[in-house]
């Protein structure tokens, strides 16, 4: 068993770039910055920033196009995806991206009281994908019930 799950809270580095593909499928991409602060041995505050490439598809991309702007603070849940391509010089290049499953805009409301109430008005979850092929139970072998070879 393995898990590929990422939770990020950070600030958007630029407005999302949205592209439309065949059949009107939308893809939004934008950078998200997460920062971590600590004090070094001299007592100086040090802040490091990590930039993440965020990818959103379909309805989520369309909502992001309307609601996400440079500087917006977002809560994103997704998974890490690495893809590769060959550049013009024939070199292999790799890009690590966060494929968003859900996101929430955390920006404060413009008319929010001093308590700092978060907007929380935009939350988008990826639509469940419907498999194109129905799998049959007989396509899978069943376990023999012999647990003697289990490592635990």
Convert the pLDDT of each residue in 12-33 to its tens digit. 999 999 999 999 999 999 999 9
CATH number of 6-129: 2.40.50.140
Convert the pLDDT of each residue in 29-79 to its tens digit. 999 999 999 999 999 999 999 999 999 999 999 999 999 999 999 999 999
CA geometry: angle 90, 51, 126, nearest 5 deg: 95
Rg, the chain, Cα only: 21
Convert the pLDDT of each residue in 87-120 to its tens digit. 999 999 999 999 999 999 999 876 544 444 444 4
Q: In the chain, what are the domain boundaries?
A: 6-129
Using the structure block, give the residue that is written with the tokens 């949205």. 18
Length of the chain: 152
Q: What is the pTM of this model?
A: 0.72
CA 82/CA 100 separation, integer angstroms: 13
Note the pLDDT of residue 45: 96
CA 9/CA 17 separation, integer angstroms: 20
């Amino acid at each position: 068993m393995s898990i590929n799950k990422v939770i990020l809270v950070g600030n958007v580095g630029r407005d999302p770039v949205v592209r439309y593909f065949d059949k009107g499928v939308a893809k939004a991409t934008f950078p998200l910055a997460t920062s971590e602060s600590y004090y070094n041995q001299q007592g100086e505050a040090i802040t490091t920033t990590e930039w993440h490439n965020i990818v959103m598809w379909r309805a989520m991309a369309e909502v992001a196009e309307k609601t996400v702007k440079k500087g917006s603070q977002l809560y994103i849940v997704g998974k890490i995806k690495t893809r590769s391509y060959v550049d013009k010089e024939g070199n292999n290049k790799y890009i690590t991206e966060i494929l968003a499953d859900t996101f929430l805009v955390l920006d404060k409301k413009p008319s929010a009281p001093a308590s700092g109430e978060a907007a929380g008005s935009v939350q988008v979850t990826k639509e469940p994908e419907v498999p194109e092929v129905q799998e049959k139970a007989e396509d899978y072998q069943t376990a023999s019930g012999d647990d003697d070879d289990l490592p635990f």
